[in-house]
A and B are shown apart, each in its own frame.
Chain A
Amino acid sequence: MSHEGILLFLIAVLPFAGALLPGLMIRAGRTASAVSTAVPTLMALVMLCILAPAVLRGEVVQAQIDWLPQLGLSASFFLDGLGLLFAGMILGVGLLITLYARFYLSGDDPVGQFYTYLLLFQGAMLGIVISDNILLLLIFWELTSLSSFLLIGYWKHLPEGRQGARMALAVTGAGGLAMIGGMLILGNIVGSYNLTDILQAGDAIRASEWYLPALILILLGAFTKSAQFPFHFWLPHAMAAPTPVSAYLHSATMVKAGVFLMARMWPALAGTDAWFYIVATIGLITMVVGALIALFKDDLKALLAFSTVSHLGLLTMLLGFGTEAAAVAAVFHIINHLTFKAALFMTAGIVDHETHTRDIKRLGGLRHLMPITFLIGTVAALSMAGIPLFNGFLSKEMMLEEASHTDWYGSAYAVPVLATIGALLSVAYSFRFVGHVFLGPKRDDYPQTPHDPPFGMWAAPALLVVLVIAIGVAPFLAEGIVTAAASAVTGADLHPHLKIWHGVTPALWMSVAAIAGGALLLMLHRQLDRIWIAAPRPEAKAIFDRFVAGLVVASRWITEVTHNGAISRYLAIFTVTSVLLGFIAYSSSGLSAPTRDLLGVPLVIAVGWVMLVVATVSIVVMHHHRFRALTLLGIIGLSISAGFAYLSAPDLALTQISVETVTIMLLLLALHFLPKVTPKESPIGLRVRDGIIALTAGGGVSALAYAFLMRDIETISDYHIANSYEGGGGTNVVNVILVDFRGYDTYGEIIVLGIAGFVIYALMRALLDGPAAQRLKNTDYSQDRSRDRHPLMMVVVTRILMPIALVVGLYIFLRGHNQPGGGFVAGLVVAIALLMQYMASGFAWTQERKKIEYHTMIGLGVVVAGATGAGAWLAGQPFLTSAYTYVHLPPIEEFELATAMLFDLGVFLTVLGAVMLMLYSLSRIARFAGETVNVAPMDYDPGAQVAEEEAER
């Protein structure tokens, strides 16, 4: 990446990295916090200045880091004229706002939070303007919504602040969602998510049949963000934010994001009728409506908010015109609007700060008390009104010039007349801002007697006002950046000349009419205001609240219908949907012809199948008798193991049969403490309903299984079969897959099993520490107990079986790599052998003879398996690569030693430990239930009796 590219990356990263600072620095005071906010901003600004000359020459700075290139995801940034303009605005105004906020916020406000949010927002905003990947842009877009939510709701104690923040988030967030759709369509049309590619492919995009949906979705995002009619209502409510936030977000940056997006997408989307009629019309309406409402707002910030809406409409309209001259005017007005509007917001903030009111009707005559603020506010307001020698005049003239020769649906007058009216209203509210706040007689009923604020507070707006005059008098100062930005917007090589005097043009007459009419309107304001207040107007907030309430009702209804907490409903919805989807897939695309023949069914298998079906049906019918149901479950499990054995899966058969045994033991142990019968309480209707759900699910699964059983499939198993012996050193492919090819999976699975063991142990401990322990002690289980609890025959048989079972377990373990068997099965077999001792001689007797804790065993197993895998690293191989060798030790025949066996040992230990821990936990409960502790291995011990008799003799 080039030197410039790295700088660009740093610019993108700095605000986010810097956001950590102010929150920490606040401990050192507000000034330290403000300085730590200014430093990253300033650094980014300096870097931007380093890049600026190249960009102004028309070069584009690029930086890219691939993330998932297959999906077109990369962190790529680029900086062209438009990006430079916006980045400069974001960082420059950010710096001024940092200074202003330091003096504006009071000592009670959490200033550290404020600056952190501010930097987060600044980073998100910068990300939008320099992203080269539209998916990345979308992420930053959403981040601005989120961070502005935090900023607008900064004064958490104010309900208006919270409501305004929610409304802003809902509206801009919804627009952002629409935009995601539009951007994805765009990316699909072009085949790339890179902005540079998309901007090149304008013709293909406009020709695509997906152009209109994409356009509308993207514009929804832009319009909501930039508060265009009819989404304009959120912006005034967001004015509940502290004034620095309003000045930053709602004049300079966030609301311009929509305008920026339209400008950015201009080469790709503009130039069609659809673009003109949607964008220009909405812009025009917004401009006039916003200006009209602004004139009648008494709240200073509300007035400015609606004036911002109006000016954003103006910008949107200019971009909607789709001509190059209009684009130049738009870019120029973006700069001018930023300077005077940010200054005005700060002025309003100062007035509010000093007089403790923002109500215009309670103000007036402030010029005597706050001369500096008066000067700043007046210059900025005159610029907003479009008075010559201030910068607002220049871009407004260009706008009127463009409007004067724009036809709208065959009418040559619609646009010019409405644009003039918009300008006229703008003059009126600008004059009102000056006239009703600063001019007029000095009053004696201000909530607090004002005076000019300290220098730090008026420095920022003063600097902006200097820019207003400088550009207004010498417009060529802005020519460089306007040229670069407008060229970037249009994609053409433009050389605009910004000047004050254009000669006697229609625009000049429109301007004169606007200024004269505006002044006249202000004189009539008192009368008009009365009519305005009396007239019925739609209240946007009420409509929005009703809409949200409706949504809440609808989503609550959906939630209650689908998520009522009853599993039957979830299962019903899930079953019906899956079966339906399966059926649609089946009936729409059809099924290829079967490629396999049916295998024959021997009699034994048929009998087994009948047993299984009968047992299942019986469980369903007789599940109220729990013990009987458990026996039937055993039949099913055994039938399935027999099926596995028949269908060439000896390993599965072995596993199933041993798991079956321990499962039944476990359930038996649990059943001891549970009621022995399930009461019949489901009404018949419920049972029919459940039956239908069950049969639908069963039928669907059956059909699916049958469908794929009759068809062949491409399998990756050939690789495993081919490499099992050479690569894994074993002939039992299933075992080699478990301990070698997919050893990672197995490793994860034994860990899960170990965790399950510990969970059960923990549950048992928690249970025995709680009220359940008392209940267990007080419950009488004696009638369930056998009178001969440790029968002689059973004790003797299990003792004899113990070594045999252990040898069988060892045998199964050792042969596992080449013949059916392995760690899983061996672990289960040994577990069963041990369990039999518990059953025969009781818990306490066996526990005394246990040498290793089961917890240790689980841990040991996982460690052994993991260490075996890690051992491969020593040989420079990836994790879990196995090695093996053949050893010849006379007199035993040649046998194999593989590291996989060590891994299998880990599996064995974990399985054994987990199974034993589970059953041990259940038996612990038995001891609490008043089970006697036996010290002898059996109740009636003939050996002991013989010894007794001999002693007597």
Chain B
Amino acid sequence: MELIVATTVGVLTAGGVYLLLRLRTFPVILGLALLSYAVNVFLFASGRLAIDQSPILSKYGEATYTDPLPQALVLTAIVISFGMTAVLVMIGLGAYLEAESDRVDIEPETPDANDQGERT
């Protein structure tokens, strides 16, 4: 199970980073979403894995519980990352509608790339 979780985090990170490096806004947003998954799972895993030990207190005798703290932190992180994605989507959409291009990098149109860089 540990291997499964570790590889999941790795695969999501790799996919997220690769998409972050694309040249258009939409894949970048997708990449960020993947990276958010990876980070959330990673943080969640820092509480170690446990099965059938939900942190819901039992009325009947002694029971073991998994670490609730990372869960609480990840819960808000999930919601916040949604908010962040939404802002990013809006910015990307606005940029596309204003500029009629959804490229994220600087387009070196003129030979003087530096000059272009300062204006954009």
Contacts and interface: CB of A to CB of B under 8 A. Distances in A.
A568 interface: yes
Contact of A734 (B16, B25, B55, B104): B55
Interface residues of B, number: 86
B61 to A, nearest CB: 14
Interface in A239-289: none
A752 B80 contact: yes
Given A620-B15, A648-B66, A682-B22, A566 B74 contact: no
Interface string A605-648: 11001001100110110010010011001001100100110111
B106 A914 contact: no
B84 A629 contact: no
B8 A643 contact: yes
Contact of A717 (B25, B68, B75): B68
Contacts of B59: 731
A300 B2 CA distance: 80
A875 interface: no
B11 A612 contact: yes
Contacts of B80: 749, 752-753
A708 B46 contact: yes
Contact of A745 (B20, B34, B76, B100): B76
If over half of A's interface residues share one DSSP class (helix, strand or loop), that class is named, otherwise mixed; here it is helix
A678 interface: yes
B4 A605 contact: yes
Given A648-B50, A694-B17, A734 B71 contact: yes
A905 to B, nearest CB: 16
Contacts of A156: none
Contact of B48 (A637, A709, A732): A709
Nearest to A771: B98
Q: Give the interface size bracket for A toward B.
A: 35 or more
Contact of A753 (B2, B11, B79): B79
Contact of A656 (B23, B38, B78): B78
A771 B46 CA distance: 48
Contact of B2 (A703, A710, A738, A766): A710
A650 B54 contact: yes
A427 to B, nearest CB: 58
Given A698-B13, A715-B69, A775-B100, A609 B4 contact: yes
A82 interface: no
Contacts of B96: 673-675
A763 B86 CA distance: 11
A612 B16 CA distance: 13
A659 B78 contact: yes
Contacts of B7: 609, 613, 702
A643 to B, nearest CB: 7
Contact of A733 (B52, B56, B73, B97): B56
Given A629-B30, A733-B68, A673 B2 contact: no
Contact of B69 (A681, A710, A720, A757): A720
A389 interface: no
Interface in A741-783: 742, 745-746, 749, 752-753, 756-757, 759-760, 763-764, 766-767, 770-772, 775-776
B3 A662 contact: no
B87 A756 contact: yes
Interface string B27-40: 10110011001101
A121 interface: no
Contacts of B19: 619-620, 623
Contacts of B40: 640, 656
A732 B52 CA distance: 14
B19 to A, nearest CB: 6
Nearest to A735: B72
B53 A648 contact: yes
Given A605-B1, A705-B6, A616 B15 contact: yes
A914 to B, nearest CB: 7
A764 B91 CA distance: 9
Contacts of B52: 648
Contact of A705 (B10, B74, B79, B97): B10
Contacts of B94: 763, 766-767, 772
B20 A571 contact: yes
A619 B106 contact: no
A876 interface: no
B91 to A, nearest CB: 7
B83 A757 contact: yes
B43 to A, nearest CB: 10
A713 B48 contact: yes
Contacts of A650: 54, 56
A706 interface: yes
Contact of A565 (B17, B24, B41, B106): B106
Contacts of A565: 106, 117
A661 to B, nearest CB: 10
A231 to B, nearest CB: 36
3 tightest A-B CB contacts, nearest first = A698-B14, A702-B10, A756-B83
Interface of A: 565-568, 571, 575, 596, 598-601, 605-606, 609, 612-613, 616-617, 619-620, 623, 626, 629-630, 633, 636-637, 640, 643-644, 646-652, 655-656, 659, 662-663, 666-667, 670-671, 673-675, 678-679, 681-682, 690-691, 693-695, 697-699, 701-703, 705-706, 708-710, 712-713, 715-717, 720-721, 724-725, 731-734, 737-738, 742, 745-746, 749, 752-753, 756-757, 759-760, 763-764, 766-767, 770-772, 775-776, 818-820, 824, 828, 911, 914-915, 918, 921-922, 925
Given A648-B55, A694-B18, 8 more contacts: A633-B30, A652-B71, A670-B93, A702-B9, A705-B42, A746-B76, A764-B90, A767-B93
16 contacts: A606-B4, A616-B34, A633-B30, A651-B75, A681-B23, A690-B21, A698-B12, A701-B13, A706-B6, A712-B48, A721-B65, A737-B69, A749-B76, A759-B90, A820-B56, A922-B89
